[in-house]
Homo-oligomer: A and B are copies of this chain.
């Protein structure tokens, strides 16, 4: 590969009520509002020195505009364009400044149809890590990963690992040995990008890293005090996969956000991907209440990088939609 992707960098969401989103993300979760105007809110975690990792855009309808990756250097963008073009995938350039706080940006659709974006440059701002007097809610630190439902996980896996240079930390097989889900990374954590078998392409959730387990419990308390008790969809609990302590929330538009802490370093070349059986009861939930049905069936819709139209969902190759676990 002649390019180097650094890490997952941001999510761009369409939301219908910016003020409702601000209350949820800033007051409830403790994100820092870097900047905003009447149609946009730019949010980041306390540790982040990049201008934002979550961009909320006012829109008629909730949707996911794009998932963004940061690359090592400007020229990487040209190499990535060559790759996508060579595979017959749609690409589109946005000049520096065309998106606020962002350098030149390449937008594409990946092999599953997911709208992706690559950039090398984002405005640098102060890290708020040591402004503990601003810590609120979950004290969100930094973007950790995104998880997408796709109809063909093996195809997505092959593209990300073989073409984009991702590594696999853990994966899930069906009883028949088919790849049902995969956790892939560029930065040396368990993942930047996960894929699960399901109707897609869809965004299942985006996730932020928090300092510790108590930050997640503090957030639950804070959300419940603010009237958001029903926004807690699943957890707190511990994943078998990744070992992370987790909480899943639904934002005012129904987008799913995971608070995540406690995975491990994946820097070593001799680290073998860890295999899990889809029906292993400890796989998804090492301990904790089982995921409600909506956690499996409800996802956010992507839009086309050119037309802005919703991307149609395709039924998954593998029949099994969720683990079979006895109650």
In the complex the two chains form, is B127's CB within 8 Å of A264's CB?
A: yes
| List of B residues within 8 angstroms of A225 by Cβ | 130-134
Decide yes or no whether A101 CB sits under 8 A from chain B. Answer: no
Can you name the residue of chain B whose Cβ is closest to the Cβ of A71? B269
Beyond the given pairs A7-B268, A213-B217, A234-B289, 11 more chain A to chain B contacts, judged by CB atoms under 8 angstroms and listed by A's residue number, are: A6-B267, A47-B264, A121-B270, A127-B264, A130-B225, A132-B222, A141-B264, A212-B212, A212-B214, A220-B237, A236-B236
Decide yes or no whether A223 CB sits under 8 A from chain B. Answer: yes
Docked complex Cα distance between A288 and B264 (Å): 27
In the complex the two chains form, is A229's CB within 8 Å of B132's CB?
A: no
In the complex the two chains form, is A271's CB within 8 Å of B49's CB?
A: yes
Nearest CB on B from A214, distance (A): 6
Decide yes or no whether A243 CB sits under 8 A from chain B. Answer: yes
Given A50-B268, A220-B238, CB of A211 within 8 Å of CB of B262: yes
Decide yes or no whether A70 CB sits under 8 A from chain B. Answer: yes
Given A27-B133, A236-B236, A286-B229, CB of A268 within 8 Å of CB of B6: yes
Can you name the residue of chain B whose Cβ is closest to the Cβ of A47? B264
In the complex the two chains form, is A130's CB within 8 Å of B286's CB?
A: yes
Given A187-B267, A188-B188, A265-B142, CB of A238 within 8 Å of CB of B213: no
A289 interface neighbour in B7, B226, B267, B289, Cβ under 8 Å: B289
Given A127-B264, A213-B214, CB of A222 within 8 Å of CB of B269: no
Chosen A-B contacts, 29 in total, with CB atoms closer than 8 Å, are: A7-B265, A7-B267, A27-B133, A47-B264, A47-B265, A49-B270, A49-B271, A72-B269, A73-B269, A124-B270, A129-B264, A131-B225, A132-B225, A133-B226, A135-B222, A187-B265, A187-B267, A188-B188, A211-B262, A212-B214, A214-B214, A220-B287, A221-B287, A223-B287, A224-B282, A224-B286, A229-B286, A232-B288, A289-B289
